[in-house]
Amino acid sequence: MPVPVVTQLLADGLDSLPYVWPILKTLPWLLGLYLVKAYFEGASNGSERNMHGKVVMVTGGTSGIGEAVVRELAGRGAQIVLLTQHELSDFFIVEYIEELRKETDNQLITAEQVDLSSLHSIRTFATKWIDNAPPRRLDTVILCANTLTPAGGDIESTAGEGVEVNWMVNYLANFHLLSILSPALRAQPADRDVRILFGTCAGYMGGDLLHITHPAPSFGKAPKKTANGKPKSSSATQAPSDFSPGNAHATSKLALTTFALAFQKHLSSYKRPDNTPMNTKVLLVDPGLSRTPGTRRWLTFGSLFGLALYLLFYPLWWLVLKSPLGGAQSFLFAVMEERFTRSGGGLLIKECGERSFGRKEVVENEETQKQLWEYSEKMVQEAEKRGKEYRTEMKRKSDEAKDQEEAEEQMREYKEKIGKKEGQKQEGSRRSRKAG
């Protein structure tokens, strides 16, 4: 077909081709749209690494950027361990894993139930993971899980443990998980290239850690209760002293960035028995704004009206926001780039390249890192204590309800057995015979 068209063009000129001028007028616009989309889609990962046999632990791997990362790594032969809040018998997670295995031709995809909003759930999983001799293989930990309370929304706390949700999922869960997994990370063989990837974002520069560096005098005291019996916000149970949905996410990401750099120092200070250099590197990854559930929730303010506006302007979001796969490129680069094998870790990756940290006076300050670590350890202890009391109380109420139900069932069985009905004399009783 191209040959006759070219022949006609040379013989009869442009005007002989149907719709040629509308097409020529449209082409620059299409080219411009393509260039704009390519610009906002960001850089692509050009690095490759043999992932066969490598064990990769992933949080947040069932949606958004985390799902794209999992699919790409599974397609390269990596053994994936998904940490998910869903029960392992849940239809969604069963279907999701089966689909991944089929699409990637990789059967080494499994899941572990870990609720990142529960310190108890994290401890249960992590202690089980490290309670193994020899230590289980672990090549990469990718922390993609993230939550965001829309501006104007209500402050939410985790059930029982009383920790603000953004602070818990975005920061404290990662602190707790890696603190327990630390021995397993340090015990990996010296020739194994181990990497820990923290998902962060530029929003961390808007956070503050004043509740840690300049703590309120009431820190550590039991939280006061309101008239309805719920605990008031305090530094012992909430993150910032002036907590609001507007700064919750930024503050949790600032704490995560600060902890990541402190954790790299913690790992590097370990002296291996074989006197070889520490082989675990911490890398922070900023994927940029992508069309993920978290970004959608942020843009819509968590409201139906905002969702309607989001759908109305979806062509704009499609143009200026990355796809989940586009956002995953920096994670893939951090996992597979060869030069990170020889680096000391503690690097920020954005658009498939190294970047400088913002707020260096906070995130790289050793005193702030120390205060954050101590604060987090104390918060974990207090929250786990509250969680234990909560579970004990829930178990007591459950047992009481079960005992009450059993007693009622026994009473019903007894009534059925003797044929007694309320307000009716039983036939053949002594009283009925006397009346006769």
Cα 363 to Cα 65, 235, 308, distances in angstroms: 25, 21, 38
d(CA 331, CA 221): 41
* From 253, 281, 322, 350, the catalytic residue: 253
End-to-end Cα, the chain, rounded Å: 111
What are 102's two structure tokens?
A: 């089929």
253 is catalytic: yes
Sheet with 280-286, edge to edge strand ranges: 109-113, 79-84, 55-59, 140-143, 194-199, 280-286, 347-350, 353-355
CA angle 402–404–408, rounded 5-degree value = 115
Where do the H-state alpha helices sit in 13-90? 20-41, 64-75
Classify strands 194-199 and 55-59 as parallel, antiparallel or unpaired.
Answer: unpaired
- 169 contact partners, CB below 8 Å, separation of at least 6: 116, 117, 145, 146, 147, 252
Contact assessment for residue 100 and residue 74, using Cβ atoms and an 8 Å cutoff: yes
Cα separation, 268 vs 283, in Å, equals 14
For 409, the enclosing helix (H) or strand (E) is: helix 366-418
φ/ψ (deg, to 5) at 121:
-65, -40
Token readout for 410 is: 């026994």
> Which H/E stretch holds residue 84?
strand 79-84
DSSP codes joined into one string, 162-188: --BHHHIIIIIHHHHHHHHHHHHHHTS
Which residues are paired to 322 by β-bridges? 290
Could you give the residue numbers annotated as active site? Answer: 253
